[in-house]
Structure 1
Amino acid sequence: MLEPFKNHILYNLSFLNNARLLIAISGGVDSVVLTHLCYQLGLDISLAHCNFNLRGKESDGDEEFVVQLADNLDIEAFTESFNTEGYASENKMSIQMAARELRYYWFDELAQQLGFDYILTAHHADDNLETFLINFSRGTGLDGLTGIPEVNNKFVRALLPFSRENVIDYAKANNLIWRVDSSNASTKYLRNKLRHEVIPILKEINPSLLQSYQSTINNLGDATDIVEDHLELFFEDAVESIEDNKMTFNVSEFKKQNNPRAYLFETFKDYGFTEWNDALNLLDAQSGKYILSSTHRLIKHQDSLLLSEIVPGELIEITITDSNQEVETPFGILSFSEVDEIQNNSITAIYVDKALLKFPLLIRQWKVGDVFFPFGMKGKKKVSKYFKDEKLSLLDKESTLLLCSEDNIVWVVNRRADNRFRVTEETEEIIKVELK
């Protein structure tokens, strides 16, 4: 296996030869073989081991083994101990997901702090097949069926072309010692059930299963390239704007496709959405209707779809005294300055009669029942009705603040001043209020 591995690095991963490499090592046969292969090729390697404290003395034994292996090879080793169960409970996730999240965060942190160019993991062809079957059994798109990427940013899976059998044969032929994780024998986890019960049957049916699977992966990869090329052209027409807090998509571009549901899936699959019939219904829904994922919200607004990240609700109430010249808000700096006359009006500034203001002023979000007297109009108007007339989206409404004097609205910030505080001929002192 050493010679094929050497050729694989030479022809496909040559960038590893002159890089600082961090090997993610559990102590199991896969990562031990990866370590020895890289060591034999003279690559610049260090080891990183996570102790998840899930198997008592066995976990501690794995850590001791990795430290000893590094000492034997005269290479550097880093170890980290995690309270995995506590992290899983705190973040309401499975133990497996918690362990995955913890180790990848730590590997990435090590690489950034200590200047490692790449992080090597010991995934091989059988792992790739297992991942394919897991995604297939749960339901997925093309991306979920194209396998584990060999290179993904800093992470490199250098053993992907090799089978578990190749790895074990190399370990035995070279008298390598490795640790056995007892939890890998349990079939309560889906991956282990596939590994021990399903894949052996598939290999019995087709002894060339891994080769057939690799051919399938290559074909799916080619299909994915075609889809991505087409989607790039679609996005050029469908994406209306990209801002800090939202993306806007043209509904008509989805509706003109033969299969709008498929385009919705490809556009929004990375944002946690799963109910694609609901997304399809959104195309013909009235403004204000929306669907939620765990992280994002997709809103129908007139002829557009607005995508925004869900931010935990935060009550905004900022008090302003008469001594404040500038106040920081979530949307910019609100400044107060005395001026001699009204200058150029703009949407970001208003001029008010200082004598009519009752300090302290208050900046807050709008609420149902709010009423103001729009500048330039006679009479009052509900803020909600003003929003509707202005055709504001749900996101625009949520990001609009009110400047208030006692219970009276002075300014629907960046939108409309209140007529009651306007400057008149009787005004002696003028205050300019501006959002910068």
Structure 2
Amino acid sequence: MFVRFEKSIKNKFPFLIGKKLLIACSGGLDSVVLTHLTKKVNLEIALAHCNFSLRGKESDSDEMFVIGLANKLEIPVFAETFDTIKFAEEHQVSTQMAARNLRYTWFAEILNNFKYDYLLTAHHLDDDLETFFINLSRGTGINGLTGIPRINNKIIRPLLDFSREEILNYAKKNSLQWREDSSNKKTDYLRNRLRLEVLPQFKKTSGSLLKNFQKTQQNLQTSRNLIEDYMALIYNLVVTETNNSYKINIQKLKDLPHTEALLYELLNSFGFTEWDDVSDLLDAQTGKQVFSKTHRLLKNREELVLTEIPANVPSTEFLVSKSGIDSPIKLKIESSKYIGETEKNLIYVAADTLKFPLKIRKWRSGDNFQPFGMKGKKKLSKFFKDEKVAITDKENIWLLVSGGRIVWIIGYRMDDRFKITEDTKDILKISLIN
């Protein structure tokens, strides 16, 4: 196994040579073997161990074992204890998800703070097979069937070509010691049931299961690569990027074969799960929306508009001084001796019509104003509709307000009641600075 591992490092992971590497080490068979192999090929390594406080003294013994292993091999070691149960309760997630979040957040901190280049994990071929069946049971696309990636940004998995049996035989042959996690014998979790009950029986029906599985994944990955190349062309054809959104041209998408499959490929990385609802947007009325945890997909006329959901909603009302405001947008207010040409981001108003301090805020249902050049009032909702302003754009529009009256729909239209007349003595120039 060592010869194959050394060859794999040279051929598949040459970028690891000469770098500082952090190994996620539980103290179990897989991570102990990975530690010994990387040490034997003279890679610069350190160990990182998470004590999740889930198995009492057993968890503490695992931690002491890893520290002892690092001392024996004369390599650095990091160990951290977490209150996983408390974290899970506070964040309303499962214990497994809590442990995962805590683990990878901490690993990222070590990489950053101590200047390590990559994190190595001990996932192997059997783990990959289990993941394949888990994803298959939940319903997945080709991405879920291509398995655990060998390289995922700074996370590297150099044992994915090796089976659990090979790893065990290597450990026994080299008289290595490791810790057994008692929770791995429980069948409470789907992965453990697959590992302990389902896959052993499956392997009995086919002695070359793992070999054939590897070949299948290689074929799937080839197909995945073809799809990605094709989707790059489709993306350029139907998607338009703006600063805050992606816009998918519905008609162009419908003109292509396999429309729903293309829509899935365009959007599957944004966390959507209700794919029937997503595809229904193609023929829905303007304003219909579908949400993932991180993004919103909106039907707006002949487009689907994808935007990120902001983590925090900021205050939507700010005071404006006589000289202007710098945040959240920048407005400059200054005296002017003459009236220039009004532009999209520039207006001239009669100073005596304003009541300071002014305010800027987002628009609200029921807002109305008197559009410049008109006699009567008009609701902003009607104005936006007539101007064909997209829903997502409306959410980013600010209003300049004086004494409760809208002075300017910033970037669009000013109110007629604040215009310059023959009686105006003082003129103010108000500019939106981009």
Shift of 1:134: 0.8
Rounded Cα–Cα distance in structure 1 between residues aligned with 2:59 and 2:235: 48
Rounded Cα–Cα distance in structure 2 between residues aligned with 1:44 and 1:147: 28
Moved over 4 A (4+): none
Q: TM-score, normalised by structure 1?
A: 0.96
Mapping of residues 404-423 of structure 1, within 5 Å: 404-423=401-420
Aligned counterpart, 1:435: 432
Q: TM-score, normalised by structure 2?
A: 0.97
Rounded Cα–Cα distance in structure 1 between residues aligned with 2:13 and 2:401: 63
Shift of 1:153: 1.3
Rounded Cα–Cα distance in structure 2 between residues aligned with 1:284 and 1:336: 46
Alignment size in residue pairs: 432
Rounded Cα–Cα distance in structure 2 between residues aligned with 1:81 and 1:348: 55
Shift of 1:11: 2.0
Contact 1:53 1:81 in 2 (8 A): yes
Aligned counterpart, 1:271: 270
- Which among 321, 324, 327 is matched to residue 326 of structure 1? 324
Aligned counterpart, 2:282: 283
Rounded Cα–Cα distance in structure 2 between residues aligned with 1:369 and 1:147: 52
1:166 equivalent to 2:163? Answer no
Rounded Cα–Cα distance in structure 1 between residues aligned with 2:60 and 2:337: 75
Shift of 1:249: 1.3
Rounded Cα–Cα distance in structure 1 between residues aligned with 2:51 and 2:252: 50
Rounded Cα–Cα distance in structure 1 between residues aligned with 2:357 and 2:324: 14
Can you list the C-alpha shifts for 1:198-251, whole angstroms capped at 9, x where unaligned?
1111101112111111011011011111111111111110112x2232111111
Q: Kindly provide the amino acid, as one letter, of the partner of residue 73 in structure 2.
A: L
Q: Percent identical across equivalent pairs?
A: 49
Q: Kindly provide the amino acid, as one letter, of the partner of residue 255 in structure 2.
A: K
1:48 equivalent to 2:48? Answer yes
Mapping of residues 276-425 of structure 1, within 5 Å: 276-311=275-310, 312-322=312-322, 325-330=323-328, 332-425=329-422
CA RMSD in angstroms, aligned pairs only: 1.3
Shift of 1:44: 0.8
Rounded Cα–Cα distance in structure 2 between residues aligned with 1:102 and 1:185: 23
Q: Kindly provide the amino acid, as one letter, of the partner of residue 287 in structure 1.
A: T
Shift of 1:117: 1.6
Shift of 1:381: 0.5
Mapping of residues 2-401 of structure 1, within 5 Å: 2-240=2-240, 242-311=241-310, 312-322=312-322, 325-330=323-328, 332-401=329-398
Moved more, 129-138 or 243-252: 243-252
Rounded Cα–Cα distance in structure 2 between residues aligned with 1:89 and 1:238: 43
Can you list the C-alpha shifts for 1:47-93, whole angstroms capped at 9, x where unaligned?
11111111121111111111111111110001122222222222221
Instruction: Determine helix, strand or coil for the equivalent of 1:329.
Output: coil
Show structure 2 runs of 5+ residues with no match.
none
Moved more, 188-197 or 353-362: 353-362
Rounded Cα–Cα distance in structure 1 between residues aligned with 2:59 and 2:252: 54
Contact 1:364 1:401 in 2 (8 A): yes
Rounded Cα–Cα distance in structure 2 between residues aligned with 1:352 and 1:109: 53
Show structure 1 runs of 5+ residues with no match.
none
Contact 1:261 1:276 in 2 (8 A): no
Can you list the C-alpha shifts for 1:165-184, whole angstroms capped at 9, x where unaligned?
11111111111111111111
Can you list the C-alpha shifts for 1:347-373, whole angstroms capped at 9, x where unaligned?
112111111111222211111111100
Q: Kindly provide the amino acid, as one letter, of the partner of residue 128 in structure 1.
A: D
Rounded Cα–Cα distance in structure 1 between residues aligned with 2:94 and 2:162: 30
Q: Kindly provide the amino acid, as one letter, of the partner of residue 252 in structure 2.
A: E
